[in-house]
Amino acid sequence: MAEVSRFHVAKAVFVKDLRVEIRSRVLVNQILPFSALVMVLFAFALDATNVLTRVAPGLIWLAVLFSMIVIVQRGFAVESADGALEALQSAGVDALGVYWGKWAALVVQLVVLEVLLVATAVLLYGVDLRAEGVVLLVTTSISATCGLAAVGTIYGGLAAGVSGRETLLPLLVLPVASPVLIGATRAVEAALGTGGTAISEGWPWLGLLSVFAVAFGVGGSFAFGPLIED
């Protein structure tokens, strides 16, 4: 086998993951409707438009978290259906390359999801996007997504494959992701100005989200290989 650079492995996995998604359309046909449904259910549960507008940022990120669990489970189910991930391991393919490739594919899917959810919040919850807040909104989204994708890929790899392990995924991911939930919600509140929050209040949270993304990006690079070994 020729020496393949880690980057090329990552690129191959990234392309393959997105191609599988495009071919099977699970994100578009099932997961996006699911997350939109979650947003509708929130409205039923909370039943007051002013409350909805006020808590919209939190609801958006909650919906992202729950949908991410489904996306990750699906993504790794594809790998274990025919033993593909194990085949990659048994071929000695660089685990770090696989990690970054899957991470990147998850980031793309999460960004698509977030765009949809923000649009849904604008439509259903009476949220207004203000021009001054767009930079904060976009940077928050990027840094939060990088961190969430890292956590999702790490624990998805652990919980994949062996039956009876998938139920472990939410228990592992959600506590670890809670700093992102706290930080991203507060930052988006500042970006949108819900509850009278000023934009300047959002930037400290961005610092937290960036540190989180770096910490788990690096941590995941070390952890992924040992965790997928069965």
Partner 1 sequence: MTTITPQSLEVPARRRGTGTRATRIIGLATIVMIGWLAVFGLLISPADRDQGDSVRIMYVHVPSVWLAYLAFIVTAICSAIHLFGRRHSLGVDRVAGASAEVGVVFMAVTLVTGMLWGRITWGVYWQWDARLTTTALLFISYIGYLAVRGLEGTRQQRARRSAVIGLLVVLEIPLVHWSVRLWRSLHQEATVLGTDLDVSLDGLMLFSLFSGVVAFTLLFIWLVLHRSRMLTMIDLAGERALDEALASRISEGGEKRA
Partner 2 sequence: MHPSPDATTDPVIDLEGLVVVLGGFPALAGADLRVERGEILLLAGPNGAGKTTLLRACAGMTRPVRGSGRVLGFDLLRERESIRAGVGLVGHRNGLYADLTVQENLRFWGAASGATSSEIEAAASAMAVDGRLATVPVGRLSAGQRRRTALAVLVVRRAALWLLDEPHTGLDAQGRDELDALLRRAAVSGATVVFASHEADRADQLATRSVRVVAGRVEAVDG
Q: Residues in the site for partner 2, rule: CB under 8 A?
A: 1-4, 8-9, 11-13, 15-16, 19-20, 23-24, 78, 81-84, 86-93, 97
**Total number of residues binding partner 1 (CB under 8 A)?**
28
223 lies in the binding site for partner 1 (CB under 8 A): yes
* CB of 92 or CB of 175, closer to partner 1: 175
Cα of 38 vs its chain's centroid, Å: 16
Which range in 43-51, 57-65, 77-85, 180-188 contacts partner 1 by CB under 8 A?
Answer: 180-188
* CB of 14 or CB of 212, closer to partner 1: 212
Q: Look at residue 183 and give the partner it binds from partner 1, partner 2, none, a contact being a CB closer than 5 to 8 Å depending on partner kind.
A: partner 1
- DSSP state letters, the chain: -----HHHHHHHHHHHHHHHHHHH-HIIIIIHHHHHHHHHHHHHHH--HHHHHHHHHHHHHHHHHHHHHHHHHHHHHHHHHTTHHHHHHHTT--HHHHHHHHHHHHHHHHHHHHHHHHHHHHHHS-----GGGHHHHHHHHHHHHHHHHHHHHHHHHHHSSSTT-TTHHHHHHHHHHHHHHHHHHHHHHHHHTGGG--GGGGHHHHHHHHHHHHHHHHHHHHHHHHHH--
175 lies in the binding site for partner 1 (CB under 8 A): yes
> Environment class of residue 221 by beta-carbon count within 10 Å: exposed (0-12), middle (13-18) or buried (19+)?
middle
Which range in 28-36, 62-70, 74-82, 168-176 contacts partner 1 by CB under 8 A?
Answer: 168-176
Per CB under 8 A, contacts with partner 1 among 77-96 are none
Q: Look at residue 11 and give the partner it binds from partner 1, partner 2, none, a contact being a CB closer than 5 to 8 Å depending on partner kind.
A: partner 2
203 lies in the binding site for partner 1 (CB under 8 A): no
205 lies in the binding site for partner 1 (CB under 8 A): yes
Which range in 21-29, 52-60, 75-83, 173-181 contacts partner 1 by CB under 8 A?
Answer: 173-181
Measure the CA–CA gap between 84 and 80, rounded to whole angstroms.
6
Would you tell me which residues interact with partner 1 (CB under 8 A)? 154, 158, 162, 165, 168, 171-172, 175-176, 178-179, 182-183, 186, 204-205, 208, 211-212, 215-216, 219, 222-223, 226-227, 229-230
